[in-house]
Amino acid sequence: MVYSAVCCWMASWLGASGGVQAGEIDFNRDIRPLLSDKCFLCHGPDEQTREADLRLDTQAGALTVIQPRDSDSSELIRRLITDDESERMPPPESNRALSKEQITLLQRWVDEGAGWGQHWSFAPLDAPEVPKVDDSNSSTSGDRVAPIRNPIDAFVRARLAREGLQAAPEAARETLIRRVTLDLTGLPPTVAEVDAFLADTEPRAYERLVDRLLKSPAFGERMAWDWLDAARYADSNGYQGDGERTMWPWRDWVVDAFNRNLPY
């Protein structure tokens, strides 16, 4: 039973991790999300739904079938590569056979130590050093790259340099206001708003534009989209009789929560 449980875990993890490139495999990035999505229902903290008495939401539980830094001695690996179909995991009838690349990826993770890692949301905040980059070829106009205005720009520019890429030129102001307005409100700017922004030649014109959009009621409406979609929000049943549902108070509360900047 334990090995059947392992099958559930491994099929889900490797199914989405086969594209990890060379380099150390990161547990939080490559493994934990898949465990949560695919395995915790049957092998997580809920005793009522847990199968085979195997917990894969804890390091101790997962290590019952893994020998860190020794994939050859890990029962998990043996079950994945065995020619005995009665022992192979995942079972052939599950139609979740792992590719050679996925099995190799799993072996790499085990041989690297099967690192677990703290969930990012509980990790201490870290303030990395802002990279120093050459900003001498930047300009707010013409074909030269956009200047660095904040630490995020510096990190992006440094990564582009490592990849041998060059930052794009500064966007035209007409393009800039359209992009940021769509991003923050989901609506295009009006002609009057575009004209006002183009006429504002002060150094902090863009910052004032962003502040205005953040204070707009449309900001909360735009930010609420994803939350309402995740909850499958609808004003009616949407099927057969399509009866009305009194759901709008919750919708308005979510919108208002964003506009009032309530904490999560």
Q: Structural domain boundaries of the chain?
A: 2-121, 127-170, 173-259
Interval 48-100: pLDDT, tens: 988 788 787 888 988 988 899 999 998 878 877 999 998 877 778 767 777 88
pLDDT tier at 38, thresholds 50, 70, 90: low
Is-contact 28 117, C-beta < 8 A?
yes
Query: Is the whole model's pTM more than 0.85, yes or no?
Result: no
d(CA 260, CA 59): 40
Tell me the pLDDT tens digit for each residue of 120-169. Answer: 788 888 889 999 988 877 766 666 788 888 999 999 999 999 999 988 88
Structure letter (DSSP) for residue 182: H
How does pLDDT run across 180-215, given as a tens digit for each residue? 999 999 999 999 999 999 999 998 999 999 999 999
Rounded-to-integer distance, Cα 260 and Cα 22, Å: 45
Give phi and psi for 34, each to the nearest 5. Answer: -75, -35
Q: In this predicted structure, what is the pLDDT of residue 98?
A: 75
* Cβ neighbour number for residue 245 with a 10 Å cutoff: 12
Instruction: Spell out the residues 6+ positions from residue 165 whose beta carbon is closer than 8 angstroms to its own.
Output: none
Q: How far apart are the first and last CA of the chain?
A: 40
Mean per-residue pLDDT, 13-29: 62
Q: Which of 48, 56, 72, 68 is nearest to 13 (CA)?
A: 56
Whole-number Å distance between alpha carbons of 34 and 115:
15
Let me know: does 106 contact 121? Beta carbons within 8 Å: no
